[in-house]
Structure 1
Amino acid sequence: MAAHATLPPEEADALRRTLPGLADDIVAAIAREVPDYARPMEGRFGETVRFGTQIALNRFVDILLGEAREAANARHTYQRLGAGEYRQGRSLDALLAAYRVGARLAWRRFVDVGTQSGFPADALYDLGEAMFAYIDEISAESAAGFAEAQSEAAGETQRRRRRLLRLLVQEPAADAEAVRTAVTAAGWALPRVLAAVVAAEADQPEGLAAAHGAEGPSEELLDGIAARLARRLGPGAVGAAVGGLAVVMMPDPDGPGRRKALEAALGGELAALGPAVTWPEAASSLRRAEAAFRLATQGHLDVQGSTSPSAQVRGRLIVADEHLPALLLAAAPGIAADLARSRLSPLDGLADGPRERLIVTLRAYLDRPGQVQAIAAALDVHPQTVRYRLKQLRELFGDRLEDPDARFELSLALRAAEGLRY
């Protein structure tokens, strides 16, 4: 007899007569044997357990009689029981243990009744097989209810955290009371300092979007990228899609081990980290991280590392505050272009080759004014070559090479010229 086999009516009636007392015995056994249910079966909790037991027993006998219809209400009962376990903060183990206790007690009672009623031995064996197959069915229904409740809770938590993140980065800054309310609803602890991490943008081909020929990740994909990174960083981080970006707010970004944790969480993917700020300044951290991320994806920052200690890129993580000059120039591209044109105009009349040689020499000189030997070593040329080129530069730029302010402007102009694509 499988779980959906039938019994003769007289045999099924013999089983059904045991059900009222059996339900009470099962409820008592569950309270004794399942630690999470070891409490008086009173009130709403007791009613729920007793009702679920009665439904299970009657539905089982209906199945044996071949009378069971598609019982959506019965299935819903076990799904609700599973969902209730999640909402009570328990695992599914206690409920499944309760089912096993009930199945064992019911099987023993049915064997006693079947033996007294003269059931054939084969019928008793099949009855046991049907009983445990049935327990598997209702266990699966409860597991589905548990999983659905878990998914709904996770989805609601993520929605609240998305709302919180978007509130944090809005400009002007949100009201403190509104932020505190959103923080409480999202189950998040507002950190003393935080920093924005930008891990993707909508016009950057990546992942599924690139595979399908789209221009870049959709809002849903950006949400997924941000949520995954936040999970890898731990419960203190929140992530969401914000304005076409995958954004994570990372608490205490300068704390011990935090930078390494971020690099490990990225797994080699490109991201930009904004400065550490208090929450009212979260929008400024995001703006800087966004600017650095865009410069890196456009090829204007060295994402493989730099020989300059002040502009070092660690792996694929761009630290925005280590690229402030580039960000400054990128913030005003028109002014940067004008600066490069006006301050470097003495080089305009030169052919490309000589012009390029003088530019690299000028930059080396501005980094090491007056140090001919050091300049020669940096350029891998003879010191006499450096002296010759410096003579040319003095003829072109005159006293500006000796004036500190003029040298600063020339240095800035050279960097602007290198990044005119900004």
Structure 2
Amino acid sequence: MPRTLDHAAPAERSVPLPPRLARIMRPELPSLAEEIVAEIRRAIPEYARPLDGPYGHVLRRSVEHQLAAFVDRVAAPGPAEVSDDCAGTARMLGQYEAHEGRSMDALQAAYRVGGQAAWRRVMRVAPRHDISAAVMSRLADALFVYLDELAALSLDGYRQARARPIPALDERRRRLLRVLLDGPGTELAEAAEAAEWQVPAAVTLIAVEPEARCVWTSLDEDVLADVECAAPHLLVPGPFSPERRAMLEKALPGRRVAVGLTLPPGQAADSLRWARRALGLVLDGVLDGPVALCEDHLVTLWLLSDPALVEQLARRRLAVLDGMTPGQQDRLTETLRTWLVTRGTAAEIAALLHIHPQTVRYRMRKIEQIFGDELADPEARFGIEVVLRAAHLRARGAEVRARTGGLRARRDTRRPHSSVMIPR
């Protein structure tokens, strides 16, 4: 393969670098990665994109991994190969260039800019550690040989992306996906045959965070996808396996997704509807990402599927608290929710809420006075538990959004905790 970067000849690997260099270099890596990313974005217009997008995520992750891998190579002298992780990231960068319709010039320039920034840092740090000129020379050769290997891997990914057809982009497969989601009828067999796709016994739909950029060549051949729309989504034949999850991480790096239930093809729309609902809860901070499985959150999806209806239930079941202050309501409903969920003793509830057992006993007596016979009525008690569980989930999402500065804009600005659900 022809060389991809212009630099000096490879270093003689018979003379290893002193492992102590790795100890000197490691503390510099976090700030060096930031410096390299900033320099690349400043010097190369093609990479001057928001860093919170998929391209920015891949750029930052690749720089961090490749720097760490180079230091690992210095720390363990001997025959060295690029790690599978770094090789995969390097190939992915090349695939991105191909999908953007560009040549490899910008990525080659990015490698050069990164190497120059790294070497400037070495020149600033080396004088403090009495590193000889001979060692510095071997370190320079090793660094640029490493960059040459990464660039060659990126070129390999670029060529693969250019050479391989992308069935997921084919309009026939897009049409097939639409047919499945519209409710397959007599058209399904015809659409599947045209798309050269065998209809499976079951499918799993996946909702993807908006504005996702997909590495198409990382998708399995049998996956149907539409990610260039306002609500990106994929269809995976069969169940969502660990292998499919690994595929998603490569194809949609850094993007949050929600995986629907595995259902017969005729229920594909239901699987996607639930996946989109789960993704909304991920973006709201209620569910954890980056991959949320509907299978693991069925009760949460049900509880929060119709907020207006839960609000009406709250008006009927919790109206007895209207005369209390918000703080009083929060304390009593959190204690009641914990008791309903755990049916624990005062000591057990106190440990969960980080309060004194005597405080729990006082609150429970107050709760019994307020709710009376409703706590003994199974239907009424279930309604109260539903309301309080839903309020707790919504409160958790509100706290996450407040902590992170807001995962997305929301109209609901009411207080968290049980008062979210309790009418004033």
Please, what TM-score do these two structures have when normalized by structure 1? 0.50
Give the Cα–Cα distance (whole angstroms) in 1 for the partners of residues 215 and 261 of structure 2. 18
Corresponding residue for residue 194 of structure 1: 203
Deviations 1:347-387 (A, max 9, x none): 22111222211121011111122522211111111211111
Give the Cα–Cα distance (whole angstroms) in 2 for the partners of residues 153 and 230 of structure 1. 10
Asked whether the equivalents of residues 168 and 224 of structure 2 are also in contact (C-alpha less than 8 Å), the reply is no
Give the Cα–Cα distance (whole angstroms) in 2 for the partners of residues 156 and 300 of structure 1. 31
SS at match of 2:206: strand
Counterparts of 1:368-407 in structure 2, within 5 Å, are 368-407=342-381
Counterparts of 1:323-362 in structure 2, within 5 Å, are 323-362=297-336
Deviations 1:285-309 (A, max 9, x none): 1111112112322x15232xxxxxx
When residues 332 and 156 of structure 1 are mapped into structure 2, their CA distance, relative to the original with a 3 A threshold, is closer
Asked whether the equivalents of residues 233 and 265 of structure 1 are also in contact (C-alpha less than 8 Å), the reply is yes
Corresponding residue for residue 182 of structure 1: 191
**Cα offset, 1:195, TM superposition:** 0.9
When residues 243 and 265 of structure 1 are mapped into structure 2, their CA distance, relative to the original with a 3 A threshold, is closer
Give the Cα–Cα distance (whole angstroms) in 2 for the partners of residues 155 and 233 of structure 1. 10
When residues 153 and 267 of structure 1 are mapped into structure 2, their CA distance, relative to the original with a 3 A threshold, is closer
Within the candidate set 274, 280, 283, 2:260 is matched to: 274
Asked whether the equivalents of residues 281 and 287 of structure 2 are also in contact (C-alpha less than 8 Å), the reply is no
Where does the alignment leave 5 or more consecutive residues of structure 1 unmatched? 1-146, 207-221, 304-314
Within the candidate set 215, 218, 241, 1:232 is matched to: 218
Asked whether the equivalents of residues 204 and 263 of structure 2 are also in contact (C-alpha less than 8 Å), the reply is yes
Please, what TM-score do these two structures have when normalized by structure 2? 0.50
Give the Cα–Cα distance (whole angstroms) in 2 for the partners of residues 393 and 264 of structure 1. 52
Counterparts of 1:103-252 in structure 2, within 5 Å, are 154=166, 158-170=170-182, 173-176=183-186, 178-201=187-210, 206=211, 225=213, 228=214, 231-241=217-227, 244-252=230-238
Deviations 1:27-70 (A, max 9, x none): xxxxxxxxxxxxxxxxxxxxxxxxxxxxxxxxxxxxxxxxxxxx
Amino acid at match of 2:349: I
Tell me how large the CA RMSD over aligned residues is. 2.9
**Cα offset, 1:229, TM superposition:** 5.9
When residues 373 and 269 of structure 1 are mapped into structure 2, their CA distance, relative to the original with a 3 A threshold, is same
Asked whether the equivalents of residues 199 and 272 of structure 1 are also in contact (C-alpha less than 8 Å), the reply is yes
Asked whether the equivalents of residues 278 and 287 of structure 2 are also in contact (C-alpha less than 8 Å), the reply is no
When residues 156 and 324 of structure 1 are mapped into structure 2, their CA distance, relative to the original with a 3 A threshold, is closer
Asked whether the equivalents of residues 340 and 413 of structure 1 are also in contact (C-alpha less than 8 Å), the reply is yes
SS at match of 2:235: strand
Where does the alignment leave 5 or more consecutive residues of structure 2 unmatched? 1-158, 396-411, 413-419
Asked whether the equivalents of residues 181 and 268 of structure 2 are also in contact (C-alpha less than 8 Å), the reply is yes
Give the Cα–Cα distance (whole angstroms) in 2 for the partners of residues 398 and 230 of structure 1. 60
SS at match of 2:343: coil
Give the Cα–Cα distance (whole angstroms) in 2 for the partners of residues 332 and 243 of structure 1. 26
Do residues 321 (structure 1) and 306 (structure 2) align? no
Corresponding residue for residue 12 of structure 2: none
Give the Cα–Cα distance (whole angstroms) in 2 for the partners of residues 344 and 321 of structure 1. 30
Q: Identity of paired residues, percent? A: 35
Higher mean C-alpha displacement, 287-296 vs 229-238: 229-238
SS at match of 1:331: coil
Do residues 413 (structure 1) and 400 (structure 2) align? no
Do residues 295 (structure 1) and 269 (structure 2) align? no
Give the Cα–Cα distance (whole angstroms) in 1 for the partners of residues 380 and 246 of structure 2. 40
Corresponding residue for residue 365 of structure 1: 339
SS at match of 1:274: strand
Give the Cα–Cα distance (whole angstroms) in 2 for the partners of residues 290 and 403 of structure 1. 36
When residues 416 and 156 of structure 1 are mapped into structure 2, their CA distance, relative to the original with a 3 A threshold, is closer
SS at match of 1:276: strand
Asked whether the equivalents of residues 231 and 237 of structure 1 are also in contact (C-alpha less than 8 Å), the reply is no
Give the Cα–Cα distance (whole angstroms) in 1 for the partners of residues 287 and 164 of structure 2. 42
Asked whether the equivalents of residues 373 and 383 of structure 1 are also in contact (C-alpha less than 8 Å), the reply is yes
SS at match of 1:190: coil
**Cα offset, 1:230, TM superposition:** 5.9
Give the Cα–Cα distance (whole angstroms) in 2 for the partners of residues 182 and 293 of structure 1. 29
Asked whether the equivalents of residues 199 and 246 of structure 1 are also in contact (C-alpha less than 8 Å), the reply is yes
Give the Cα–Cα distance (whole angstroms) in 1 for the partners of residues 227 and 243 of structure 2. 26
Structure with bigger gyration radius? 1
Give the Cα–Cα distance (whole angstroms) in 2 for the partners of residues 401 and 416 of structure 1. 18
SS at match of 1:250: strand
When residues 151 and 245 of structure 1 are mapped into structure 2, their CA distance, relative to the original with a 3 A threshold, is farther
Give the Cα–Cα distance (whole angstroms) in 2 for the partners of residues 230 and 326 of structure 1. 32
Amino acid at match of 2:389: R
Asked whether the equivalents of residues 168 and 223 of structure 2 are also in contact (C-alpha less than 8 Å), the reply is no
Amino acid at match of 1:414: L
When residues 408 and 156 of structure 1 are mapped into structure 2, their CA distance, relative to the original with a 3 A threshold, is closer
Give the Cα–Cα distance (whole angstroms) in 1 for the partners of residues 230 and 356 of structure 2. 52
